[in-house]
């Protein structure tokens, strides 16, 4: 019922973790690999060349409707995530795909990490993060279309070279992007033009909405410490923006779309798939509910599908109706 495909990867279910939530340490990744989890992919924390502690605490805060974070990419460095790929995958009964999320601090860092990843037969693909809003002094690449085009072109060259060798051994390699939220149609179109002239296979829409501000009114204090309180907004409030991005990129690219943003129920997942998503990632809700969220959302989604006589998600994926 929930099987799906993103790029060249077959997934047992259409749900998995968003990069950034409980996917940093070895133990957290092992839990994502566990067969008792209903997630379909082991997606790592966005990694940098060297390990990072991240921004000052407190850097995460949530309410019923939203979350705000400015983590600053805390991670153990790309070598850790590459070197442990085989061990972590071996704990997965269904051999869940292991995808490396990458967010190098320079273009050269990204190219080095991508080269290592595509030459590691235990890594099934990358999600190149062009959308982190929480690195002090670093802009989001996904809003600079000149740099975005350059990094995708170079990454494509590296991946194609490595993919040729992998295909000879019978394995493929997913090239995915994690995009920032776009708000203007002209920006959607510029991003689509770049993506359609590349060999990108999947798009994760969206990362958090950058540089929001949340206030703890009891203390009359900003909710998080870094960047004077500015951080990425996630949770229920960003779902309409996420759905718009999912739908636009589904209609205007040939990529598999992974919906991310505001998903805390089966109905939320249903809406993302109806807009064109082949799979969904859970971030804020995963942070709140831990591993039980995957099974709960799938159970609710299954009930919705049965009530509508849908046997598979492809029966309704991308079938959103418009007024004529």
DSSP state of 170: T
Tokens 């989001």 belong to: 140
Range of the domain at 85: 4-315
**For residues 58 and 69, what is the distance between their CA atoms, to the nearest angstrom?**
9
List the helix and strand counts (H, then E) for the chain: 10, 16
Q: Is residue 31 part of a domain?
A: yes
Q: What are phi and psi of 67, to 5 degrees?
A: -130, 155
Give ∠ CA 227-69-256 in degrees, rounded to 5: 125
Q: Pick from 276, 267, 269: which is nearest to 246 by CA?
A: 276
Q: What averages of pLDDT result for each successive group of 10 residues across the chain (324 residues)?
A: 94 96 96 87 97 97 96 97 93 84 96 96 96 81 96 95 67 91 98 97 97 96 97 97 98 98 98 98 95 95 98 98 95
Q: Determine the pLDDT at residue 204.
A: 98
Q: Is residue 324 part of a domain?
A: no
**For residues 105 and 44, what is the distance between their CA atoms, to the nearest angstrom?**
17
**For residues 11 and 29, what is the distance between their CA atoms, to the nearest angstrom?**
17
Number of domains making up the chain = 1
- Global pTM reads 0.96
- Residues taking part in catalysis: 132
Q: Is residue 320 part of a domain?
A: no
Q: Is residue 199 part of a domain?
A: yes
Total number of residues shown for the chain:
324
Pairing outcome for strands 277-282 and 67-69: unpaired
Q: Is residue 164 part of a domain?
A: yes
CATH of residue 220's domain is 3.20.20.70
DSSP state of 75: B
Q: Determine the pLDDT at residue 93.
A: 66
- What are residue 4's DSSP bridge partners? 11
Q: Is residue 49 part of a domain?
A: yes
Question: What is the chain's alpha carbon radius of gyration, rounded to the nearest angstrom?
Answer: 18
Q: Is residue 263 part of a domain?
A: yes
Which tokens in the block code for residue 137? Answer: 């002094």
């Amino acid at each position: 019922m929930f099987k799906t495909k993103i790029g060249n990867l077959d997934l047992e279910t259409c749900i998995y973790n968003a990069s950034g939530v409980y996917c940093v340490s070895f133990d957290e990744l092992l839990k994502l690999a566990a067969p008792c989890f209903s997630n379909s992919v082991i997606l790592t924390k966005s990694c940098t060349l060297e390990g990072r502690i991240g921004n000052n605490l407190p850097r995460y805060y949530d309410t019923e409707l939203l979350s705000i974070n400015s983590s600053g990419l805390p991670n153990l460095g790309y070598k850790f995530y590459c070197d442990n790929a085989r061990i972590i995958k071996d704990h997965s009964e269904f051999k869940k795909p292991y995808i490396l999320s990458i967010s190098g601090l320079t273009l050269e860092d990204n190219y080095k990490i991508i080269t290592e990843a595509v030459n590691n037969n235990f890594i099934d693909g990358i999600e190149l993060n062009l959308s982190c809003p929480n690195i002090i002094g670093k802009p989001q690449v996904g809003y600079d279309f000149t740099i975005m085009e350059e990094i995708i072109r170079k990454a494509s060259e590296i991946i194609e070279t490595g993919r040729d060798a992998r295909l000879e051994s019978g394995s493929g390699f997913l090239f995915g992007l994690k995009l920032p939220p776009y708000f203007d149609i002209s920006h959607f179109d510029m991003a689509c033009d770049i993506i359609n002239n590349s060999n990108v296979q999947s798009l994760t829409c969206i990362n958090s909405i950058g540089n929001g501000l949340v206030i703890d009114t009891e203390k009359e204090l900003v909710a998080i410490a870094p960047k004077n309180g500015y951080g990425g907004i996630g949770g229920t409030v960003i779902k309409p923006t996420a759905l718009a991005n999912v739908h636009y990129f589904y209609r205007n690219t040939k990529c598999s779309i992974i919906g991310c943003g505001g998903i805390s129920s089966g109905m939320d997942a249903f809406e993302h798939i109806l807009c064109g998503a082949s799979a969904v990632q859970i971030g804020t809700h995963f942070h709140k509910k831990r591993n039980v969220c995957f099974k709960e959302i799938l159970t609710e989604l299954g009930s919705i599908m049965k009530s509508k006589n849908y046997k598979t998600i492809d029966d309704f994926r991308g079938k959103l109706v418009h007024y004529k």
